[in-house]
Amino acid sequence: MSDAQMYLVEVEKKLVQAVSDYTNEERLAESMHYSIAAGGKRIRPLLLLSTVLLFQETIPSAAVDTAAALEMIHTYSLIHDDLPAMDDDDLRRGKPTNHKVFGEDMAILAGDALLTLAFQVVAMADLDATSLVELIRLLAETAGPKGMVAGQVADMRAEKRQVDQIELQAIHERKTGELIRFALLAGGIIGKAPKEDYVALDRLARKIGLAFQIRDDVLDVISTTAELGKTAHRDEVLEKSTYPKLLGLNEAKAALAQELQDATAILTLLAQKGYTITPLQRIIEQLALKEEA
Amino acid sequence: MSDAQMYLVEVEKKLVQAVSDYTNEERLAESMHYSIAAGGKRIRPLLLLSTVLLFQETIPSAAVDTAAALEMIHTYSLIHDDLPAMDDDDLRRGKPTNHKVFGEDMAILAGDALLTLAFQVVAMADLDATSLVELIRLLAETAGPKGMVAGQVADMRAEKRQVDQIELQAIHERKTGELIRFALLAGGIIGKAPKEDYVALDRLARKIGLAFQIRDDVLDVISTTAELGKTAHRDEVLEKSTYPKLLGLNEAKAALAQELQDATAILTLLAQKGYTITPLQRIIEQLALKEEA
């Protein structure tokens, strides 16, 4: 178990504790806890913590708190994305979606609550005020109407029509990529990375983000619902543009491998500067597709 | 026109500019602009600006920005509150509600975007980092799952059953009161109020918040849809517990007058400390019911 994964336990604790401490309506807390506990892979927190470990040997509590906030934002986006008015999905991480259990009204409010709470958790983190303001600005920018929310809108617009690779990439860079960019840049801010390293972090984040999305698209095609923990072949039902649809399955797999190779090359350069890349390297390795039996 | 009202023009500009500058999806921006421009009374920004004027002669840009952020949060809450899964209302401020024009999916995302953008606008305001962090923490706390969102949940829970006055007050203190509390406390933070004045600001906010809600309930009973700019007698249709229903119409009017009298008493004490209370006083006067013809 890498150091970053060890600290994920702290992130889980923070997620549960923040919802319990800063919520005063029982049913709302249940709804928030339900989606928080629904067993995500915590890839975004892991990326944030692993980026801090590039620059520092230990993880400060502010990194744990910010990682938890990031996962709250991701969780809220899934709750809202699954709503009947949006993707209308009944299954998420192998369990009924939030609105299926708590009703649409509560799911909307639980999403709103997690989004708001994320900013509270960062604002209360133990870090100098200047860095906190920078983190909050960056979180809002990457999650908001130029970032993730814009990506959702673009994704919606792209349904039921053919888009080209450039447009598809512009959708994913915002829908998935921006929060991953937050993970790495926030890791830099909290890890007190030298200014000149942010360009590398930004490039690395874009490679990982794209790899992440292509992988998701490919898995939707080649997996079963049981394997995914969410409804498989959903993209086809929603007539979504995906990498396998646009490039063919084999080309999509090759594109994924290329992004991971580029990411590894950036990591190698960071290693040459004396930074500890092992935790990030491990995540990138796990993004590769397992060889099919 | 009071100074505070004059600065509302700046708040309007900031609202339009922030949505334009920090959104990169046209239809999303239209949806956000639509609800922002739908002609609210801007009572929350006005309260914030008027509170700054207690302590300072001029309004710094950070007050304008924070007032705009506050109105974004209020606007998002109305968009989500009007959704079919929530109050299912077709009319807001005399115009079709956001989802009626842009669809439910876009209305959900426009709300999410405004909520997120609010934090970005505060984080980018021209103020010392320590005060910004304090403002952001307070905004998240008052708007989130212990504040406004909790109030929405409690309000939902209270539909179709009788609640007593204590429970009704606990709903409104969060649903409406907490953002008003933010307005006054933020005005104190930006106006650099002495520490000992926050208790008075807090008490004043609670009086104004309660007055505001009782007034809203009373107007729902005694007004027409044309006068309100939203569907009248909606509370009765939704079987909501309201002050007129609980206390009778005349007692509710008397309760409103009492809250306003208490608020005026607090203001008088603040005036004795040499603070400029005229702008806040004017708002409180406007919360009184006009004599019926």
Q: Which residues of B touch A130 (CB under 8 A)?
A: 129
CA distance B152 to chain A (A): 8
Sequence-distant (≥ 6) Cβ neighbours of residue A225 within 8 angstroms:
A91, A231, A232
Identify residue B203 by its one-letter amino acid code: R
On chain B, the residues whose CB falls within 8 A of the CB of A149 are 28, 109, 112-113, 116
Q: How far apart are CA A158 and CA A165, in angstroms?
A: 12
- Residue A293: the pLDDT is 37
Task: Report pLDDT for B230.
Answer: 66
Quick check: is A246 in a domain?
no
**Domain presence at residue B293:** no
Question: For B126, which residue in chain A has the nearest alpha carbon?
Answer: A133
Most A CBs within 10 Å: which of B87, B88, B105, as the mutation test of the A interface? B105
- Show residues of chain B in contact with A189, CB under 8 Å: none
Q: For position A7, which CATH number holds?
A: 1.10.600.10
Helices of type H across chain B: 3-21, 26-36, 43-55, 61-82, 98-102, 104-123, 129-143, 148-158, 165-172, 178-190, 198-222, 225-228, 234-237, 243-247, 249-272, 278-286
Helix axis angle for A104-123 and A26-36, nearest 10°, is 80
**Dihedral over Cα of A192, A198, A203, A206: its sign:** positive
Burial class of residue A95 (count of CB atoms within 10 Å of its CB; 0-12, 13-18, 19+): middle
Condensed to tens digits (0 to 9), the pLDDT of residues A227-267 reads 766 676 777 766 778 899 889 999 999 999 999 999 999 99
Residue found under tokens 């027409």: B224
Domain count, chain A: 1
Domain extent at residue A98: 3-193+275-283
Q: Could you report the per-residue pLDDT of A146-161, keeping only the tens digit for each? A: 999 999 999 988 887 7
- Rounded to the nearest angstrom, the minimum Cα separation between A248 and chain B is 28
Question: Residue B292: inside a domain, yes or no?
Answer: no
Read off the amino acid at residue B272: Q
Does residue A239 form part of some domain?
Answer: no
Q: Is residue A238 part of a domain?
A: no
Is A116 in contact with B144 (Cβ distance < 8 A)? yes
Q: Which residue has the tokens 């603070």?
A: B275
Mean of the pLDDT values across residues A128-139? Answer: 98
Q: Which chain A residues touch B112 with a CB distance below 8 Å?
A: 76, 80, 111-112, 115, 149
Distance from CA of B141 to the nearest CA of A (A): 7
Q: How confident is the model at residue B221, as a pLDDT?
A: 87
Residue B2: the pLDDT is 59
Q: Looking at residue B103, what is its pLDDT?
A: 97
Secondary structure string (H, E, C) spanning B268-279: HHHHHCCCCCHH
Chain B: closest CA distance from residue A212 (Å) = 23
Nearest-angstrom CA–CA distance, B259 and B243: 13
Distance from CA of B254 to the nearest CA of A (A): 30
Which of A24, A106, A117 is closest, CB to CB, to B140?
A117
Residue of B22, B116, B134 for testing the chain A interface, max A β-carbons within 10 Å: B116
Q: Please name the residue of chain B whose CA is at the shortest distance from the CA of residue A148.
A: B113
Token pair, residue A73, equals 């934002």
By C-alpha distance, which of B157, B162, B121 is closest to B139?
Answer: B121
ipTM for the predicted complex: 0.95
Query: How many Å is the maximal CA-CA distance in chain A?
Result: 52
Distance from CA of A1 to the nearest CA of B (A): 34
Contact yes or no for B145 and A119 at CB 8 A:
no
The DSSP secondary-structure symbol of B39 reads -
Quick check: helix, strand or coil at residue A198?
helix
Residues A144, A148, A152, CA angle at the centre, nearest 5°? 115
Nearest Cα residue in chain B from A84: B105
Determine how many CB atoms are found less than 10 A away from the CB of residue A84: 17
For A145, which residue in chain B has the nearest alpha carbon? B23
Q: Best interface-test mutation with B: which of A106, A115, A116 has the largest number of B CBs within 10 A?
A: A116
Contacts of B133 in chain A (CB under 8 A): 123, 129, 132-133, 136
**Do B120 and A141 make contact, defined as CB atoms within 8 angstroms?**
yes
Distance in Å, alpha carbon of B69 to nearest chain A alpha carbon: 12
Q: Tell me whether residue B291 is in a domain.
A: no
How confident is the model over A267-280, as pLDDT tens digits?
999 999 999 999 99
- The residue of B17, B120, B189 whose CB has the most chain A CBs within 10 angstroms, and thus the best one to mutate to test that interface, is B120
Residue A62 has pLDDT above 60, yes or no: yes
Report the length, in residues, of chain A: 293
Residue A205 lies in a domain: no
Stated as kind and residue range, the H or E segment containing B95 is strand B95-96
Q: Which of B108, B117, B149 sits opposite A145 (nearest CB)?
A: B117
Compare CB distances from B129 to A113, A130, A149 and report the shortest one's residue. A130
> Do strands A95-96 and B91-92 pair parallel, antiparallel, or not at all (unpaired)?
unpaired
With b meaning 16 or more CB within 10 Å and e meaning fewer, what string describes B121-158?
A: bbbbbebeeebbbbbbbbbbbbbbbbbbbbbbbbbbbb
Name the nearest CA neighbour of B178 among A81, A66, A116: A116
Which one, of A70, A54, A64, A90, lies nearest residue A197 by Cα?
A: A54
The maximal CA–CA distance of chain B, rounded, in angstroms, is 52
Q: What is the pLDDT along chain B (293 residues), one digit of tens a residue?
A: 457 888 999 999 999 999 999 999 999 999 999 999 987 889 999 999 999 999 999 999 999 999 999 999 999 999 999 999 998 999 887 899 999 999 999 999 999 999 999 999 999 999 999 999 999 999 999 999 999 999 999 998 888 788 898 999 999 999 999 999 999 999 999 999 999 999 999 999 999 999 999 999 899 888 876 676 667 677 776 677 889 988 999 999 999 999 999 999 999 999 999 999 999 999 999 999 876 53
Q: How far is A37 from chain B (nearest CA, A)?
A: 18
Q: Per the CB < 8 Å rule, is A28 touching B157?
A: no
Nearest alpha carbon to residue A125 among A190, A78, A176, A208: A190
Is the pLDDT at A1 greater than 60, yes or no?
no
Cβ separation A141–B115 shorter than 8 A: no
Torsion on CA atoms B85, B174, A18, A95, rounded to nearest 10: -10
For chain A, the first-to-last Cα distance in angstroms comes to: 26
User: In B103-173, which ranges are continuous DSSP H helix?
Assistant: 104-123, 129-143, 148-158, 165-172
The answer to whether the beta carbons of residues A200 and A65 sit under 8 Å apart is no
- Determine the Cα–Cα distance for residues A121 and A116; give it in Å rounded to an integer: 9
pLDDT in tens, A157-184: 888 778 898 999 999 999 999 999 999 9
Among A4-13, A57-66, B11-20, the minimum mean pLDDT is found in A4-13
Query: Is the CB of residue B111 less than 8 Å from the CB of residue B79?
Result: yes
Q: Which of A116, A133, A152 sits opposite B109 (nearest CB)?
A: A152
Side chain identity at B168, as an amino acid letter?
Answer: L
**B60 vs A85: CA distance, rounded Å:** 41
| Whether A154 and B130 lie within 8 Å, measured CB to CB | no
Residue A126 DSSP class? S
B248-278 burial string, b = 16+ CB within 10 Å, else e?
eeeebbebbeebbebbbebbeebeeeebbbe
CA–CA gap between residue B147 and residue A38 (Å, rounded): 25
Cα separation, B63 vs B57, whole angstroms: 13
Tell me the residue length of chain B: 293
**Cβ contact A116–B24 (<8 Å):** no
The residues near B170 (Cβ < 8 Å, ≥ 6 apart) are B154
Q: What's the gap in Å between the CA of B273 and the closest CA on chain A?
A: 32
Under 8 Å between Cβ of A148 and A84: no
Nearest CA in chain A to B76: A112
Instruction: Say which amino acid occupies B21.
Output: D
Residue with tokens 């060890």: A6
The reply to whether A220 falls in a domain is no
